Amino acid sequence: MKYTSTSLIFSTALLLTACATEHPTLDDFVLDDEITIDAQDLLNDDQNKGVELEKDAQGDVVASTNPMELTNSVSKKEQVIVIPERINHEITLPAKQAETPKKESVKSAEKKPEAKVAPSVFIRRAKDFSATNAPQATAFFDPNALGLHLLGKPVTSAVCTPEEEAHTKAIMDMKASYEGRNLSKMTAWRDQHLINVPRPDETLFYPFSGPDVVNMLTFFPNQQTYVMMGMEYVGTAETVSEWQKPLTKTKMETIRKAVESVFIRSFFRTLDMSSDFSRNGTRGVLPGMLLMLKVLDRDVKAVQWVTLNADGSLRYLTPEATKTASGNFGVEIKVTHPTQGFEQTIYYFRTDLSDAPMASNAGLRNFIQSKLGTTMTFVKSASFLMHMKEFAWMRNTVLNTSRAVLQDDSGVPFKFYKKNDWAANLFGQYVGPYGESFAAFKQPELNKAYESMPLQLLDFRFGYGYSKIPAHLMLFIRKEN
């Protein structure tokens, strides 16, 4: 991985790709307590960049194209500012992340009108995942067998090679470690606090998810339908054919590298995913998802590639058509619940959820607003995208289509969950965003809310700042009228 400036990554790569799923923190660029040379060079080059801020009526920053800007560092009358120097942030960091504060300089520019936040228009919706054509033949591969093959357990051979055995052990050791540190504790927390919160008929909606089936199925194991969305490429029939070949040492290393981050940090990093899921002609997240499903003991019954019609309905693609598929290209994965035996469906779509592309993407808008039905929404490690003005549509949609939301602070800003509409349940300890990349997204309202409620610490790590700062989760349940 090439080490680059976190602030430059956020202000250029992240905003250009719009809804990349995860984002690195400064810790990802520190080796042996020192910032790498490449990162320092770009940190130096990143000064004198003009940025824009979106603020609410009280003058608080709602969104910024530069996450280094702080709410309390700008005049409440200014809508657009130019920052010639990097702004110091107010957050306690580990010693190796500490920086010498630089002199703050703020220059005013022309004003822009405040963004309007749509009022809540929640209406219970019935889900509709009907398709306009029949599922296509995919007899050229068995997804369950492919998942086992990627795990190093080929179903056509009774004997595994020493390399395959070592590969299997490495993956299962990662999973066992994460199980002890996190999954078992997350499961216990879920069984205490999420009982009867997600209703089985509700769609579990996971925007900005990437291929993270691990945390999704841990918190929400019993849904009938899951919809995941991210910027990562799905993978085609050619991808599958390439992975069906015997596993070489290089391929084993590639697939381990592709999934290890979720078992180490609890999330996938955007920059890693862009390379880990596109190596050696094996581009796409589908193989990694099949592998993780097998690690989670899911029996994978079928895989279908899908796209969306203009009205939001599904259309199945032939394996041949996947070679040229674009737009709302996705995959449908049928699995069996490990203990109750009923069928579950997981959809993953590669798509851009920022406002500009959404304005011209009728198929995706209709799919989210009219086909998902009432949702239980899950958001974690989402690069604080819904804090930005470029993601106002997605932010409002989450608020309008969700009956309940489980998220960390990178999801919808706390201030948008109005007390008249939502009951807020706060867990863990909120100390602000981790790392300088996200310093602008500190939420005073959330801090006050945590201070006003009894402390309910979490015994597992979760999201950005994994193992560096206390974990937190927020459960919002819509009030019944």
What is the reported pLDDT for 126? 94
Cβ(328)–Cβ(364) below 8 Å? yes
The pairs formed by 199-204 with CB atoms below 8 angstroms and a separation of 24 or more are 199/376, 199/403, 200/224, 201/127, 201/373, 202/127, 202/373, 202/374, 202/375, 202/376, 202/403, 203/127, 203/227, 203/372, 203/373, 203/374, 203/375, 203/376, 204/375, 204/376, 204/377, 204/378
Q: Report in angstroms the alpha-carbon separations of 164 from 87, 246, 336.
A: 50, 10, 26
Residue 130: which pLDDT band, with cuts at 50, 70 and 90?
very high
**Confidence label for 179 from pLDDT (cuts 50, 70 and 90):** confident
pLDDT of residue 33: 33
Query: Looking at the 3D structure of the chain, how many domains does it have?
Result: 1
Backbone phi, psi, residue 40, to 5°: -65, -40
Q: Give, in order, the Cα–Cα distances in Å from 81 to each of 73, 76, 110.
A: 11, 11, 8
270, part of any domain = no
Residue that is written with structure tokens 């999973």 in the block: 175
Report the alpha-carbon distance of residue 158 to residue 152 in Å, rounded: 12
Core vs surface per residue 106-141: b (16+ CB within 10 A) or e: eeeeeeeeeeeeeeeeeeebebebeeeeeeeebeeb
- Lowest-pLDDT choice from 288-297, 309-318, 449-458, 459-468: 459-468
Q: First-to-last CA distance in the chain?
A: 51
Looking at the domain assignment, is residue 12 inside a domain? yes
Give pLDDT, residue 461.
84
What is the separation of C-alpha 5 from the centre of its chain, rounded to a whole number of angstroms? 21
How does residue 182 score in pLDDT terms, banded at 50, 70 and 90? Answer: confident
Beta strands in 182-338 (DSSP E): 203-206, 225-230, 299-308, 314-317, 329-336
Distance CA 185, CA 203 (A): 24
Neighbours of 460 (CB within 10 A): 18
Whether the CB-CB separation of 305 and 234 falls below 8 Å is answered with yes
Mean pLDDT of 66-94: 33
* Residue 25 belongs to domain spanning: 6-108
Partners of residue 379 on adjacent β-strands: 407
Encode pLDDT of 327-383 as tens digits.
899 999 999 999 999 999 999 999 999 999 999 999 999 999 999 999 999 999 899
Judge whether 116 lies within some domain: no
In a domain, residue 51? The reply is yes
Q: Looking at this protein, which amino acid is placed at residue 134?
A: A
Q: What is the largest CA-CA distance in the chain?
A: 71
Residue type, 270: T
Q: Is residue 36 part of a domain?
A: yes
* Average pLDDT score, the chain: 77
At residue 146, the 3 state secondary structure works out as helix
Q: The tokens 């469906």 sit on which residue? A: 345
Tell me if 78 is assigned to some domain.
Answer: yes
Tens of pLDDT, residue by residue over 415-448, are: 999 999 999 999 999 999 988 889 999 999 999 9
**Is 33 inside any structural domain?**
yes
pLDDT (0 to 100) of residue 325: 87
Residue 74: pLDDT over 70: no
Q: What is the DSSP letter of 13?
A: I
The dihedrals phi and psi of 390, each to the nearest 5 degrees, come to -70, -10
63 inside domain: yes
Strand, helix or coil for residue 316:
strand
In the predicted structure, residue 87 carries a pLDDT above the cut 90: no
pTM of the model: 0.75
